[in-house]
Chain A
């Protein structure tokens, strides 16, 4: 048996993928939890290993089935891929232990093993999208992750979860179809599916109409999946009604991996000359990003449901990521990649903490009986009228949400500040000071919606007879790990900024 480290790219996807069928075969929630969690932790270990390897060796290429590219499927890990792999597998490794305590009250017990199987598939799909160097393989993994995501969202107790999942299914399928049509056009023009090979061969035909059509289809399709502003309609409901752990995992990974796909196709396949010099794409992206930053954040302020508020905030924050992409500079792209990571962990922390709040509400409202929460009861939504004086009841949870909220605003000392800082640097480098002003102004909107929570939780009087009732440790520890992460990456930026800059340098060099 050859050394393990040479096979990390394959193991990265195969281990979580294998955990899913085992979970189905075992038909037991506890065993399924064990094996899928083990798969996720192994994937996290693989991601760390790959990150170390790309730091030394640059780009790693792995040939599936020993068929050399461009004929065979290649797994290709560069700095950007390893960074996203770390984010996805790391989030899964933290969210899965949280699931154990969280889904107990949200999903009927006989479905638990299926929840874990779907989680394993979703994780394998997202990791596969990131690691593969084959355009059609991206589509296959996109479908694996999307289909399992629809199931995970539909597992929510609230009946509206079904409608939300269906809506996402329609939008997601349109997105995936557009994506595969685009790939079809590219294959038609070049006769290859390997991403590196595609990038080289497209140079000779890049002005032809099918290539432009391919670019349009792929851009719109992926934009649907990443919830770029006017195409975000599926996101708020999906995040609001999905089980808490699912919301946290998706918010940190699903849209971020889609952003990764867009970066990959723009920079590695179509190339910057086509995207940024011949077509008005950067201007369009800039406008949509600004619209997201303002409109979605503005809508967020008026939401009554805490989960929905932060879902709209996600749409707004994706605007910052795409804004960074639109600058066409190493700094801009670096800031986009950085914010992709920083926002991922911040949002995961917030949604995990809200999961604790939802659980607390469910416990308070339910008539206590021997089985805890009665089956079939819809847990009360975390609306603001129910959250009055929450800080008295759940001080740690509230403090965590406030800290992560500060990171959304971009207060110095948090991860959100670092990425906004680099975004502003990139805007100044491009000489567009009005964008700097726009970034600062939109941060004010973030203050407004985070303040709504602070006001209700800390300054509204708690209802009579409120006792301290903190979320269970099984929920608090994973959530606080991520909260500490947002502070840590706000103070020590060597890992995040270093990797993001290296990733941006690699992409920009390759795309010219």
Chain B
């Protein structure tokens, strides 16, 4: 689809807004529907959209496989790291109350980082699955 001018222009226009919308869903998750999981899929959708229009190779250049794999792992680490931070600050595992002097503020801070972790991992998983399906027969596998 690389030669389709309309798609290319519209795609380039839309992708920043898709990413922005992902951030909106991410941060509005505290007050309405949304959160890290949904936001992660939306931002992965932006990359998938890019790959559909400009080709898998170009998408892999901006989001290399190594980066995607690192995203998978680091999201989980951020999530678990929030739990460990609670431990280190004298609370139980995943205790958000101790993350700030003000307990309610601590809860906000805790869930914020947890959702960041969820976003990164979900986005990574979506891209990994997409890459694996899209590259079948290209990488010399079967």
Residue A57 is within 8 A (CB to CB) of chain B in the complex: no
Contact residues of A: prevailing secondary structure: helix
| A65–B88 CA distance with the chains assembled, in angstroms | 13
Q: A367 on the interface (CB 8 Å rule)?
A: no
A18 to B72, CA, bound (A): 13
Question: Which of B66, B76, B86, B90 touches A65 (beta carbons < 8 Å)?
Answer: B86
Residues of chain A contacted by B69 (CB below 8 angstroms): 24, 27
Contact of B83 among A1, A14, A63 (CB under 8 A): A14
Within A1-54, the residues touching B (CB, 8 Å) are: 1-2, 7, 10-11, 14, 17-18, 20-22, 24-25, 27
Q: Is the CB of B86 within 8 A of A18?
A: no
Residues of B within 8 A of A62 (CB): 92-93
- Contacts of A17 on B, CB cut-off 8 Å? 76, 80
Select the residue from B76, B90, B97 with max chain A CB neighbours within 10 A.
B76
Task: Give every chain A residue within 8 A of B92 (Cβ-Cβ).
Answer: 7, 10, 62-66
Contact present for B93 and A14 (CB under 8 Å): yes
Q: Are B95 and A24 in contact (CB under 8 A)?
A: no
Verify B95–A65 contact, CB threshold 8 A. Answer: yes
Do B95 and A25 touch (CB < 8 A)? no
Inter-chain contact B80/A18, CB cutoff 8 Å: yes
B107 (CB) vs chain A CBs: closest residue: A65
Residues of B within 8 A of A10 (CB): 83, 87, 92-93
Most chain A C-beta atoms within 10 Å of own C-beta, residue among B76, B89, B90, B92:
B92
- Contacts A17-B80, A66-B95; A7 near B87 (Cβ below 8 A): yes
What interface size band does chain A fall in? 20 to 34
Against B, the Cβ 8 Å flags (1 = close, 0 = not) of A109-127 are: 0000000010000000000
Q: Which B residues from 78 to 137 make CB contacts under 8 A with A?
A: 80, 83-84, 86-97
Using A1-B88, A14-B84 as known contacts, say yes or no to A21 and B93 having CB atoms under 8 A apart.
no
Q: How far is the CB of B79 from chain A (nearest CB, A)?
A: 9
A113 smallest CB distance to B (angstroms): 10
B72 nearest CB neighbor, chain A only: A24
Contacts of B97 in A (CB 8 A): 66
Q: Does B77 contact A (CB under 8 A)?
A: yes
Question: What is the CA–CA distance of A66 and B83 in the complex, to the nearest angstrom?
Answer: 11
**Alpha-carbon distance A46/B50, docked complex (angstroms):** 47
Chain A interfacial positions (CB closer than 8 Å to B):
1-2, 7, 10-11, 14, 17-18, 20-22, 24-25, 27, 62-66, 117
Q: Measuring CB to CB, which residues of chain B are less than 8 angstroms from any residue of chain A?
A: 66, 69-70, 72-74, 76-77, 80, 83-84, 86-97
7 more contacts with CB within 8 A, not counting A22-B77, A66-B97, are A7-B93, A10-B83, A14-B83, A20-B73, A64-B92, A64-B94, A65-B94
